[in-house]
């Protein structure tokens, strides 16, 4: 599913949080929105998700205008930093949740759900944890479950907002590899918000550098790194978190 953002504007009061943004994300690409805190990354992601509506401009999914369509009709999966798992549910049930709450007409059989959950548990190498509860897992394992849960409904688009932000450096590094691996297997068009340039460089096919509601530069990681287009990009990429 390709995504296109056209002349997107969003203001909060007098602040233009997204200031005429244009972006094209081809189907199957993993794009990182990279920029400092307050640059508008999350707001852009929320508009792509349908959780927020723009003041003007449009969001197209596969060429069709989705700007004001309902979030439930967009077939998106989410992984957020604080999008906690259901504490009272076992890991397998957490992953199955999105399938079990579907209306009867589109809900898979319980046998099909079990099969899907088993596949996903294998994919994130947590087969042995199926019957455990979230509090019995490490932070990194929990985010792997969150990824599996988001992918269970076979979304056309996966949106990730600082999904590893709360974890320590070593676990973050491990999860980056997980995300890349899952992406390579599932080919889901993914948009990944981060303020961590190293993370963006390592994970993404393409990087979109944002600053004060504008796109400063976009391109392949090495392209952006080797040829920063503006003094802001040069400084931002040079800063160590
Ligand atoms: P980022 O994800 O890059 O940190 P955000 O999109 O979260 O940036 O926020 C960009 C700016 O918009 C910030 O200055 C933030 O305070 C402001 N903002 C975000 N959401 C709201 C809101 N609901 N009401 C008012 N201001 C907001």
Between the CA of 38 and the centroid of ligand 1 the distance, in Å, is 6
Closest atom of ligand 1 to CA, residue 193 = 2
Cα dist. 40→69, 146, 196, 226 in Å? 21, 24, 15, 24
Closest atom of ligand 1 to CA, residue 161 = 2
DSSP 173: H
**Residues 6+ away with beta carbon under 8 Å from 45:** 33, 159, 161, 191, 193
Rounded to 5 degrees, φ, ψ at 192 are -125, 120
For Cα atoms 123, 128, 129, give the angle at the middle one, nearest 5 degrees.
90
Whole-angstrom Cα distance, residue 164 to residue 81? 6
Whole-angstrom Cα distance, residue 60 to residue 75? 13
Predicted pLDDT at 163: 87
Nearest residue to 120 (alpha-carbon basis) of 40, 188, 56, 196: 188
Whole-angstrom Cα distance, residue 168 to residue 148? 21
Q: Which helix (H) or strand (E) holds 78?
A: strand 76-80
Going through 72-223 in order, the beta strands assigned E by DSSP cover 76-80, 157-161, 189-194, 206-211, 214-219
Judge if the beta carbon of residue 42 lies within 6 A of ligand 1. Answer: yes
Among protein residues, the one with the nearest Cα to ligand 1's atom 5 is: 40
* Residue 37: strand, helix, or coil: coil
Judge if the beta carbon of residue 143 lies within 6 A of ligand 1. Answer: no
pLDDT per residue as tens digits for the range 116-125? 999 999 988 8
Judge if the beta carbon of residue 190 lies within 6 A of ligand 1. Answer: no
Query: Could you tell me what percentage of the chain is helix, strand and coil, using 3-state DSSP and rounding each to the nearest 5?
Result: 40, 25, 35
Judge if the beta carbon of residue 41 lies within 6 A of ligand 1. Answer: yes
Between the CA of 23 and the centroid of ligand 1 the distance, in Å, is 19
Q: Which stretches in the chain have pLDDT values below 70?
A: 83, 239-241
What's the predicted TM-score (pTM) here? Answer: 0.91
Between the CA of 191 and the centroid of ligand 1 the distance, in Å, is 18
Between the CA of 112 and the centroid of ligand 1 the distance, in Å, is 41
Closest atom of ligand 1 to CA, residue 42 = 2
Report CA 210 to chain centroid distance, whole Å: 16
Q: What is the ipTM of this complex?
A: 0.97
Predicted pLDDT at 229: 95
Residue 170 and residue 176 in contact, taking contact as beta carbons nearer than 8 Å: no
Between the CA of 43 and the centroid of ligand 1 the distance, in Å, is 6
Between the CA of 93 and the centroid of ligand 1 the distance, in Å, is 34
Judge if the beta carbon of residue 40 lies within 6 A of ligand 1. Answer: yes
pLDDT per residue as tens digits for the range 134-189? 999 998 899 899 989 998 988 989 999 998 887 888 888 888 888 888 888 888 99
Q: How many CA atoms lie within 13 A of 219 on its CB side?
A: 12
Judge if the beta carbon of residue 165 lies within 6 A of ligand 1. Answer: no
Whole-angstrom Cα distance, residue 225 to residue 201? 8
Cα dist. 147→75, 85, 88, 164 in Å? 15, 11, 18, 11
Residue 87 and residue 134 in contact, taking contact as beta carbons nearer than 8 Å: yes
Predicted pLDDT at 123: 87
Whole-angstrom Cα distance, residue 48 to residue 188? 15
């Amino acid at each position: 599913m390709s995504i296109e953002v056209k002349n997107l504007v969003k203001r909060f009061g007098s602040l233009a949080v997204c200031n005429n943004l244009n972006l094209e994300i081809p189907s199957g690409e993993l794009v990182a929105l990279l920029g400092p805190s307050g640059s508008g990354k999350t707001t852009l992601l929320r508009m792509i998700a349908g959780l927020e509506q723009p003041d003007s401009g449009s969001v197209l999914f596969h060429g069709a205008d989705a700007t004001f369509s309902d979030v439930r009709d967009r077939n998106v999966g989410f992984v957020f930093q604080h999008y906690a798992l259901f504490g009272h549910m076992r890991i397998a049930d957490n992953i199955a949740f999105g399938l079990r709450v579907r209306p009867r007409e589109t809900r898979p059989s319980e046998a099909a759900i079990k099969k899907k959950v088993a596949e996903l548990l294998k994919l994130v190498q947590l087969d042995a944890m199926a019957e455990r509860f979230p509090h019995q897992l490490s932070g990194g394992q929990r985010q792997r479950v969150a990824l599996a849960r988001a992918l269970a409904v076979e979304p056309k688009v996966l949106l990730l907002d600082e999904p590893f932000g709360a974890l320590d450096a070593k676990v973050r590094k491990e999860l980056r590899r997980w995300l890349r691996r899952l992406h390579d297997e599932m080919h889901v068009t993914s948009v990944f918000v981060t303020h961590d340039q190293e993370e963006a460089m390592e994970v993404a096919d393409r990087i979109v550098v944002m600053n004060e509601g504008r796109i400063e530069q976009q391109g392949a990681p090495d392209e952006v790194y080797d040829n920063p287009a503006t003094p802001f990009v040069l400084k931002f990429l040079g800063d160590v978190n």
